Amino acid sequence: MRNRNLMGWIAAGLVMGSVAVDRAMAGPPLLCFPYEIGSATSLPWGKDPFEAKKGYDKSKVVGDTLEILKTEKSVLVRMETLRRAAVYIGDDRAKATELLAKISWMAMDAEAIGKPSAYSWFDAGVLAATFRQSGADIGWHAGSDSNADGYAWVKRAVALNPDDPAMQFGAALVVFEKDQAAFKSHLRRAVAGAKPGSDLAKSIESNWACGHKPVEELKKELGASDSKVANKGG
């Protein structure tokens, strides 16, 4: 995480008023808080959110990320893989542009042939938003909506797969800083489908943007108890 973004994110949380921000824990919600993925395969990593694997060849990050995304079905694993990729890429504009271009092209190609992919649109949107939240400059606001990079693409993914609570969680984090109404709407559907103790529930509970609260408490606060969102991601 870059220091120039830290105070901006703390201020955003204070202005939004939806969470009690711990200044020691605040940071871009797509970048600073790992997603629970158990023993699933992702990019090589260390023990904490920013502990990259010693000896990992960063020149392979684009290819390795794409290989994982080709077959991985878990939205949380995809999100964690993209988060790690963004950390490895850092300020490398060429690599950031290459990875985002390849993922977004996959989404656009599938759309063009009439076989739209919720996964591809989701990946492209989350990656664009993660780069923006990290401070990486790709030179343009990719997939922007509601002034949030990537949100237009993530909304397309959610439209294709509205009953996936993990995608709703990702959408909430993408739009968090820019549109609190949309954030709460997505989070409501995410917590409604998150089983207590599941990887999704743990991921929601550990992210400061969601208030560091148990999902059952969030369900009550957001009126999500009776939602019909399926438990695909929970």
Flag whether 140 is in a domain.
yes
Q: What is the mean pLDDT of residues 89-112?
A: 96
Residue 145, classed as helix, strand or coil, is strand
Asked if residues 178 and 8 have their Cβ atoms less than 8 Å apart, the reply is no
The residue among 8, 63, 59 whose CA lies nearest residue 31 is: 8
Tell me the mean pLDDT in the region 57-81.
97
Flag whether pLDDT at 230 surpasses 60. Answer: no
Rounded to whole angstroms, how far apart are CA atoms 118 and 20? 33
User: Whole-number mean pLDDT of the chain?
Assistant: 87
- The predicted model gives 44-59 an average pLDDT of 88
Q: Is residue 205 part of a domain?
A: yes
Give residue 136's pLDDT.
85
pLDDT at res. 26: 65
CA distance linking residue 104 with residue 26, whole number of Å: 29
Tens digits of residue pLDDT in 155-186: 999 999 999 999 999 999 999 989 999 999 99
According to DSSP, the residues that pair with 148 across neighbouring strands are 145
Tokens, residue 28: 């871009």
Q: Structural domain tally of the chain?
A: 1
Q: Per the domain annotation, does 231 fall within a domain?
A: no
Residue 232 within a domain = no
What confidence score (pLDDT) does residue 24 get? 39
Residue 27, helix vs strand vs coil: coil
* pLDDT score recorded for residue 6: 39
**In-domain check, residue 21:** yes
In the chain, which residue ranges form alpha helices assigned H by DSSP? 3-16, 61-71, 75-89, 93-112, 118-134, 151-160, 165-175, 180-192, 199-206, 215-222
AA letter at 44: P
What is the rounded distance in angstroms from the CA atom of residue 95 to the CA atom of residue 20?
A: 35
Q: What are the tens digits of pLDDT across the range 116-161?
A: 999 999 999 999 999 999 888 888 899 999 999 999 999 999 999 9
To 10 degrees, the CA torsion angle through 109, 169, 19, 215? 180
- Whether 234 is in a domain gets the answer no
Q: Which domain holds residue 165?
A: 3-222
Q: Minimal CA–CA distance to 121: which of 157, 80, 70?
A: 157
| 227 neighbors 189 (Cβ within 8 angstroms) | yes
Place of tokens 């969030």: 218
